[in-house]
Amino acid sequence: MSDERITFKVKNDEGKEVECEVLFTFESDETKKNYMVYTDYTKDDAGNTRVYASIYDPNDEEPILQPIETEKEWKIIETILEQIQNEVIGGDDNEQ
């Protein structure tokens, strides 16, 4: 596994440039689309790191992030995030 971080910059709602890090990408067999999950490391009101997802074309030299517009696609992404979170939590050696 590579330790190389993949980052990119986007402009937020105020027009300020923000650096984001790609957490992972995947292609859905169900939708036949590619998705990028990324974060800007900001926190929500509960202290959780904000995570975003977009559709992208991995064959583009400079991919353009497209919005996810269907509940079905969001459900696919939420399921993957839950699986990863469960693996991370379950992977801790906190057994007593």
Overall pTM > 0.85: no
How far is residue 92's CA from residue 86's CA, in Å, rounded to a whole number? 10
What's residue 37's pLDDT? 96
Percent of the chain with pLDDT over 70: 91
Tell me: pLDDT of 95 over 60.
no
pLDDT digits (tens, 9 = 90+) for 81-90: 999 888 888 7
What's residue 90's pLDDT? 79
Q: What is the DSSP string of 27-80?
A: E-TTT--EEEEEEEEEE-TTSPEEEEEEEE-TTSSSPPPB----HHHHHHHHHH
